[in-house]
C-alpha cells in the first residue's frame, strides 16, 4: 500500500481536512483499539476473538419444532478465519460472525505408515443423536486434536466399541 498509490486514495472525503496514508491508518488503529477496549477492557491478554465467532452444528432435522434441539449442537466459539489454517468463515451480522463453512474433517496420514493416521470430525461418527458417538468428537475438533484412525483389521478390531448391523427384512 505504500508505493505507487495516489494521495487522493487515502483522503477521507467526509472531512474538511486532507488526510494521507499515515493519518488514515492511525485513525483505523485508534478506532479498533477503542472498540476492543469497550468490548473486552484494557487487558489485551483477556481479549478473545473467538467470542465474536460462533459455530453451530445443525442437523437437517434440527429445524423441526419440539425435537429439533435434540439434533443440533452449539453454538461454540471458534478462532481462525477464512484465510488461515483454522479456516472458518461466514457472514458477519452486527458484531457476531455465524460460521457457515469450515473443515468437514481433519485428516493426517502417512501412506508409508497407515496405522499412524489421525482424524477428527465435527460432531461424531454416528448419525443418531442417542448414540454416544453422535457428538463425541466436538471437543477434539474445536481444540484441533486428532484421534487414531486404524487401517488394519487388528487395529479396527481393537478400536471397535460397538457395531450396527443392518439386515434386510425377510420376505
Give the tens place of pLDDT for each residue, 82-106: 888 888 999 988 888 999 999 999 9
Contact status, residue 137 vs residue 121, Cβ threshold 8 Å: yes
Cell numbers of 136, please?
463425541
Percent of the chain topping pLDDT 90: 64
- pTM for the structure as a whole: 0.75
pLDDT score of 2: 57
Cα 138 from chain centre: 11
pLDDT score of 145: 95
User: Tell me: the pLDDT tens digits for 12-58?
Assistant: 889 898 888 888 899 999 999 999 899 889 999 988 888 889 999 99
Ramachandran quadrant class, 64 (left: phi over 0; alpha: psi -120 to 50; beta: rest): beta
User: Tell me: the pLDDT tens digits for 131-143?
Assistant: 999 999 999 999 9
Residue 55, number of CB atoms within 10 A of its CB? 24
Q: Is the pLDDT of residue 5 over 70?
A: no
Phi and psi angles of residue 107, each rounded to the nearest 5 degrees, phi first = -130, 125
Amino acid at each position: 500500500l505504500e508505493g505507487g498509490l495516489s494521495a487522493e486514495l487515502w483522503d477521507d472525503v467526509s472531512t474538511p481536512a486532507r488526510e494521507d496514508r499515515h493519518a488514515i491508518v492511525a485513525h483505523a488503529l485508534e478506532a479498533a483499539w477503542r472498540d476492543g477496549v469497550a468490548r473486552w477492557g484494557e487487558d489485551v491478554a483477556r481479549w478473545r476473538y473467538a467470542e465474536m465467532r460462533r459455530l453451530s452444528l445443525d442437523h437437517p432435522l434440527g429445524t423441526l419444532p419440539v425435537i429439533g434441539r435434540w439434533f443440533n449442537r452449539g453454538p461454540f466459539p471458534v478462532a481462525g478465519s477464512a484465510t488461515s489454517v483454522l479456516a472458518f468463515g461466514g457472514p458477519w451480522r452486527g458484531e457476531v460472525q455465524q460460521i457457515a463453512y469450515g473443515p468437514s474433517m481433519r485428516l493426517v496420514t502417512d501412506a508409508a505408515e497407515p496405522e499412524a493416521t489421525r482424524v477428527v470430525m465435527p460432531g461424531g461418527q454416528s448419525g443418531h443423536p442417542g448414540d454416544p458417538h453422535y457428538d463425541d468428537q466436538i471437543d477434539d475438533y474445536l481444540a484441533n486434536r486428532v484421534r487414531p484412525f486404524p487401517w488394519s483389521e487388528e487395529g479396527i478390531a481393537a478400536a471397535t466399541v460397538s457395531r450396527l448391523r443392518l439386515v434386510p427384512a425377510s420376505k
